[in-house]
Amino acid sequence: MPAPRIPLDFERLPDGEPLRRARLVFESALRRRSVREFSPDPVPRELVELAIRTAATAPSGANRQPWKFVVVSDPALKREIRAGAEAEEKEGYENRMSAEWLAALEPLGTDWRKPFLETAPWLVIVFAELWENLPGGIKVKNYYVKESVGIACGLFIAALHGMGLVTLTHTPSPMAFLNRILARPENEKPYILFPVGYPAEGATVPAIGKKELAEISVWLEKSEP
């Protein structure tokens, strides 16, 4: 049975306002950077909660909302997560990654060492829920899981940036160790690990840029008569 319908909460903006807001959002987004040098300064839990709630407004396949945000601040757990991530990353850098892959990472100056996993006050591990377990052993399939969780993660990043925090999309591969450490069920697959906090004093980032609009877009517009 279809869900009841309600009026859309939408207000059309006056002329000029959409462009003004669009420029503000774009200029703010240009300042967002992935950070690997974190301050240990505490971050209020409410900020992380609001970022997760913002992420959870994302559209999802059949509105299944196939995500779980596991939030860690316990130092012992963070230490264990770092050990697991560094073990996988060390194996990756030394034996799994191709020369081409390592060359692509070289401008970023990364290696297998991940001290930020202990320094950042919060770790937020996003799990993709492949199916939902209902009482009685019933499994309910989720749809477009990767797409849905990816959109939610994008909103999460934007929310953190908007409140003056920094993060990093950390994806050690494979990530099954996170299920073990965090006691997550088999229907959940680790998607991204986000350290969350403030940048360390004097933090630096690689001097890299983004592709120009002409490189990333194709416009198929109606020609003028």
What percent of the chain shows pLDDT beyond 90?
A: 94
Omega of the bond leading into 66 within 30 degrees of 0 (cis): no
Within a domain: 68:
yes
Whole-angstrom Cα distance, residue 178 to residue 126?
10
Distance (Å, whole) CA 207 – CA 225: 45
Confidence of residue 58 (pLDDT cuts 50, 70, 90): very high
pLDDT at 224: 77
Instruction: Summarize the confidence of residues 212-218 as an average pLDDT.
Output: 97
Q: Which amino acid is at 178?
A: L
In a domain, 99, yes or no: yes
In a domain, 223, yes or no: no
Which pair of tokens denotes residue 191?
A: 């998607």
Whether 13 is covered by a domain: the verdict is no
Domain extent at residue 152 = 34-199
State the pTM of this model.
Answer: 0.95
Mean pLDDT of 31-56: 98
Query: Could you tell me the CA-to-CA distances from 22 to 27, 51, 133, 217 in Å, in that order?
Result: 9, 21, 41, 18
DSSP structural state of residue 139: E
Does a structural domain hold residue 70? Answer: yes
Is there a domain that residue 66 lies in? yes
Tens digits of residue pLDDT in 116-173: 999 999 999 999 999 999 899 899 999 999 999 999 999 999 999 999 999 999 999 9
Domain count of the chain? Answer: 1
Domain-embedded: residue 128: yes
The C-alpha atoms of residue 198 and residue 35 are separated, in whole angstroms, by 9
**Residue-level pLDDT at 35:** 97
Q: Note whether residue 6 is domain-resident.
A: no
* pLDDT score recorded for residue 199: 98
Is 90 exceeded by the pLDDT of residue 2? no
CATH code of 104's domain: 3.40.109.10
